[in-house]
Amino acid sequence: MKAENRFTMSVAAKSANEGFARACVAAFAAQLDPTIEEINDIKTAVSEAVTNCIVHAYKEKIGKIYITAELTADNVITVKIRDTGCGIDNVEKAMEPLYTTVGGERAGLGFAVMQSFMDAVKVRSVVGKGTTVRMRKKISRRYGANL
Amino acid sequence: MAVEIRTSGSAVTAYLYGELDHHTAREMREAIDRAVDLNMPALLVLDFSNISFMDSSGIGLVMGRYRNLAKTGARLHIAGASPQIYKVMKLAGIERLATLEGRVKE
């Protein structure tokens, strides 16, 4: 379905931008008049994807994170979060709950949260080139949507 | 200040403030660990009443504190979790590690 509205932004892969990125996507999604739970689901999923870029994709360097969101007339938001970092060798393994490569206090639940809070999550990755996470969520139709 | 510590008897309560993500977790973690090291409580309460957002970084924080407390046999209690926080906690199965008490409404 053709996008009724779209925005694109890029941010430096700094942890200080995690809150900024999820707030931007949430503000954009507000045009679909989501419930508080739906907006929180989107914020949480975006936070996980952006954090993955910072913690895993770029590790020691500060690269760029590219975020695109689209709204369609069937009340669906699609969010794409892309990095040009190290890429993921085994996407299936990386998406297993509790799997993490960095240790410390990372829970290894990033993809599990994205999958649980959004309707669909697709991950494409090429080692040495980067990773794109595409997430989709249908917002319950209410009366306030204003595309 | 992202964490306020209060002690009462053998319990330490850490009141957390703001948003809990990968950016803020470290400061909170260090403040809680300092209070636990100093007081050696039998019960640690993490109070999320004033946390407006949490992603899986909060799960890492809870699991890390649970592992530390397990060395001394101390218990962990999660209080004041909003529906959004409660949902993330339940997804991670935190109720197997700590007693979990949520807020009914935001």
Tens-level pLDDT at each residue, chain A (147 residues): 899 999 999 999 999 999 999 999 999 999 999 999 999 999 999 999 999 999 999 988 899 999 999 999 999 999 999 999 999 998 888 888 777 776 667 778 899 999 999 999 999 999 999 999 999 999 997 776 777
| Domain B3-102 top-level CATH class | alpha beta
Q: Chain A to chain B, count of Cβ pairs less than 8 Å apart?
A: 64
Here the ipTM equals 0.90
Q: Is the CB of residue A43 less than 8 Å from the CB of residue A69?
A: no
Find, in chain B, the residue whose alpha carbon is nearest to that of A54: B22
In tens, the pLDDT along B3-33 reads 999 999 999 999 999 999 999 999 999 999 9
Residues of chain A positioned with their CB less than 8 A from the CB of B87: 40, 117
List Cβ neighbours of B67 (8 Å cut-off, separation of 6 or more).
none
Catalytic residue flag (residue A90) = no
**How does A4-25 read in b/e, with b if 16+ C-beta sit within 10 Å?**
eeeeeeebebebebbbebbebb
Domains belonging to chain A, first-starting first, are 3-138 (3.30.565.10)
Smallest Cα–Cα separation from A106: which of B56, B28, B18, B53? B56
Choose from A36, A44, A59, A81 for mutation: most chain B CBs within 10 A: A44
**How does B9-41 read in b/e, with b if 16+ C-beta sit within 10 Å?**
eebbbbbbbbbbbbbbbeebbebbeebbeeeeb
- DSSP-assigned beta bridge partners for residue A132: A82, A124
Model pLDDT, residue A141:
75
**Least Cα separation, residue A23 to chain B (angstroms):** 11
Model pLDDT, residue B82:
94
